[in-house]
Amino acid sequence: MRTQVAIIGGGPSGLLLSQLLMKAGISTVVLERKSRDYVLSRIRAGVLEQGMADLLREAGVAERMEREGHVHDGTNLSTAHGMFRVNFKERVGKSVIVYGQTEVTQDLYEAQDALGATIVHEADNVALHDVTTDKPYVTYEKDGQTHRLDCDYIAGCDGFHGVSRPTIPADKRQEFERVYPFGWLGILSRTKPAAEELIYANHPRGFALASMRSDTLSRYYVQVPLTDKVEQWSDQAFWDELRRRLPDEVSQTMETGPSIEKSIAPLRSFVNEPMQWGRLFLVGDAAHIVPPTGAKGLNLAASDVHYLLEALKAAILDKDAGALDQYGPRALTRIWAAMRFSWWMTTLMHRFPDQTDFDQKIQEAELHQLETMESAQITMARNYVGLPY
């Protein structure tokens, strides 16, 4: 097989890039290690920035999002002293859309099918070759046979555990990392959301988040020690703990029910630099990870796609080869801004195992500023709704 852009990974970044490139008349092949059902069964992000929503519109995959997504003009923050709201719309004139990553991925698969895209599922042992030459190629196994895909460029959209990043020699790249000493235990349940907007709770027992996917589907998280196993947490134990951490008025009226998904995710900040190695370009989780506080992971994958799309279009359609070298630096400026924001929000909202009384007073002072100072709210709102591309 031959294509212009080989895309490793059929998650949201790989599919969105493929969709936008194909619409620009550039050919792609997507190689995905798992089945389509498996990819669609992963419950992940739920909040879309306006920039990502605009990119989905450009890709022609926004119709269901416009219909079923919920626009949120603000968010709630709960502290030991009560709950307050940051009004994004009022502070910075923008909002976010609550629409699940699973739905985005489903919409992208359908749009790709409609364009006649080539997406190879259950592609095993994907390997990248000659990426620093002008004739790179990819090999993979499917149904016991080895295949070769020749291409002009490779987009590594294969997530944190993919093969693309390790293809860059260790002495040619640098990793920046912070691992947090806790995880998020999350559940999905067919219940009415606890409130109209999200609630981020700073509580002496640890962080909690009340989120949602729709009017009838709720997503909740509680901070847990890294040593906790999901089997230790019955649904009842989860609801009891969540209730303790959310404001009383919310806990008393909150609907509970059986979980339909329950998992623990560790929290990490991670950036790999550079994002380009010859004709290989890293995109999304393959290049960086943010802790989930602030919902930046999926949105950052989308802004990477935007920058790489611009660069590939300039290189392929306008013969401007220099544009490709700009991809990494442009993407990294926005990535580090989101790194800072999600680190800040994680640090502000969680209980750290070694947290002193002094640290706690600083957290409380910062939350008080956020509650009472317009400039603090503007900074938070601007970052939460997403910095411009």
Residue 183 pairs with which residues in a beta bridge?
A: 224, 266
Identified catalytic residue from 12, 193, 247, 292: 292
Q: Which partner from the list ligand FAD, ligand DHB, none does 162 bind, CB cut-off 5 to 8 Å by kind?
A: ligand FAD
Stretch that binds ligand FAD, among 80-88, 154-162, 170-178, 326-334 (CB under 6 A): 154-162
* Cβ–Cβ under 8 Å, residues 314 and 323: yes
> By the criterion CB under 6 A, which residues form the site for ligand DHB?
45-47, 198, 211, 219, 292-295
Residues 35-54 vs ligand FAD: string with x where CB under 6 A? ----x----xx---------
Identified catalytic residue from 203, 262, 288, 296: 296
Identified catalytic residue from 137, 140, 200, 307: 200
* Cβ–Cβ under 8 Å, residues 72 and 98: yes
d(CA 351, CA 82) in angstroms, rounded, equals 17
What residue type is 388 in one-letter code?
Answer: P
Catalytic residue flag (residue 296): yes
Based on the shown chain and the rule CB under 6 A, indicate whether residue 32 belongs to the binding site for ligand FAD: yes
Q: Between 263 and 360, whose beta carbon lies closer to ligand FAD? A: 263
Candidates 49, 107, 152, 158; binder of ligand FAD (CB under 6 A) is 158
- Collect all residues with Cβ–Cβ distance below 8 Å to 189 and sequence separation of at least 6: 217, 218, 220, 256, 257, 258, 259, 260
Catalytic residue flag (residue 200): yes
Distance between first and last Cα of the chain: 34
Q: List strands edge to edge, sheet with 47-48.
A: 47-48, 96-98, 70-72
* Cβ–Cβ under 8 Å, residues 161 and 169: no
Helices 323-349 and 357-372, interaxial angle, to 10°? 110
274 prior amide bond cis, ω within 30: yes
* Cβ–Cβ under 8 Å, residues 374 and 91: yes
Residue 40 beta carbon to ligand DHB: minimum distance, rounded to whole angstroms? 16
d(CA 300, CA 383) in angstroms, rounded, equals 12
Based on the shown chain and the rule CB under 6 A, indicate whether residue 222 belongs to the binding site for ligand FAD: no
Q: Between 106 and 360, whose beta carbon lies closer to ligand FAD? A: 106
Based on the shown chain and the rule CB under 6 A, indicate whether residue 298 belongs to the binding site for ligand FAD: yes
Residues 160-189 vs ligand FAD: string with x where CB under 6 A? -xxx--------------------------
Catalytic residue flag (residue 384): yes
Candidates 123, 168, 311, 345; binder of ligand FAD (CB under 6 A) is 123
Catalytic residues: 72, 200, 292, 296, 384
